[in-house]
């Protein structure tokens, strides 16, 4: 039996923190579907196509990692359609925890058979968030310790005068 997890998020852009969760998640699950949310409300820096291209560059050679997009649908319905047993999330801070716990209870109410599995961020990535990276890159700061080189290049190009 193949155990599938959905790893949903904005991935705007993908960071070493996301990659860490995916690599560790592959120990627990046979397949991870990275589900990139369209997220028009968050006004993403990168288009859906760009966010997917970044993930493809990073994970394209791993056949147990699948890329997909979702919008205008409940995450638990999407997860069930994909035959997933779990939603995978990363936890960095107490505020992550408060938000995720509420979401998890709601998702469990909607779909009791879809579990949410949390992985605590690794000590070396716990300070990394896509939004912080964008702030640093916007003002020319060095983000090379937080994102792969190809992402750092895209950020520099996006913010070049």
Using CB positions, name the residue nearest to ligand ADP: 17
- Cβ closest to ligand ADP, residue 85 vs residue 118: 118
- Closest separation in Å from C-beta 13 to ligand ADP: 9
Q: Is 42 a catalytic residue?
A: yes
Helix (H) or strand (E) holding 67: strand 65-70
Of 21, 76, 114, 133, the one binding ligand ADP by CB under 6 A: 21
- Residue 68: phi, psi to the nearest 5? -150, 170
Distance (Å, rounded) from C-alpha 60 to C-alpha 115? Answer: 27
* Of the residues 4, 5, 6, 18, which one makes contact with ligand ADP according to CB under 6 A: 18
Q: Tell me if residue 130 is catalytic.
A: yes
Task: For the segment 77-136, give every residue that binds ligand ADP (CB under 6 A).
Answer: 89-90, 92, 96, 121, 125, 128-130
Asked if 18 is an active-site residue, the reply is: yes
Q: Which residue is catalytic, options 18, 51, 134, 154? A: 18
DSSP percent split of the chain into helix, strand, coil, nearest 5: 45, 20, 35
Q: Quick one: tokens of 66?
A: 């699948």
Number of residues forming the site for ligand ADP (CB under 6 A): 17
The per-residue b/e assignment along 83-104, b for 16 or more CB within 10 angstroms, e otherwise, is ebbbbbbbbbeeebeeebeeeb
Nearest C-alpha neighbor of 86 from the set 39, 30, 23, 12:
30
Of the residues 31, 51, 89, 130, only one is catalytic, namely 130
Contact criterion met (CB below 8 Å) for 136 and 151: no
Nearer to ligand ADP, 1 or 21 (CB): 21
Enumerate binding residues for ligand ADP (CB under 6 A). Answer: 9-11, 15, 17-18, 20-21, 89-90, 92, 96, 121, 125, 128-130
């Amino acid at each position: 039996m193949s155990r599938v997890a959905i790893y949903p998020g904005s991935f705007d852009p993908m960071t070493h923190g996301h990659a860490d969760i995916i690599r560790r998640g592959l120990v627990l699950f046979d397949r991870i579907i990275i589900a990139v949310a369209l997220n028009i409300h968050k006004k993403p820096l990168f288009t859906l196509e760009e966010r997917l291209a970044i993930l493809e560059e990073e994970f394209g050679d791993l056949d147990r990692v699948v890329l997909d997009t979702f919008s205008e649908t409940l995450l638990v319905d999407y997860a069930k359609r994909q035959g997933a047993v779990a939603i995978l999330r990363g936890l960095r801070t107490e505020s992550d925890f408060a938000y995720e716990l509420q979401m998890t209870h709601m998702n469990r109410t909607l779909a009791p058979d879809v579990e949410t599995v949390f992985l605590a961020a690794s000590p070396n990535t716990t300070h990394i968030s896509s939004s912080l990276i964008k702030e640093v890159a916007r003002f020319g700061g060095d983000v090379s310790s937080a994102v792969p080189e190809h992402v750092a290049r895209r950020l520099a190009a996006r913010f070049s005068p």
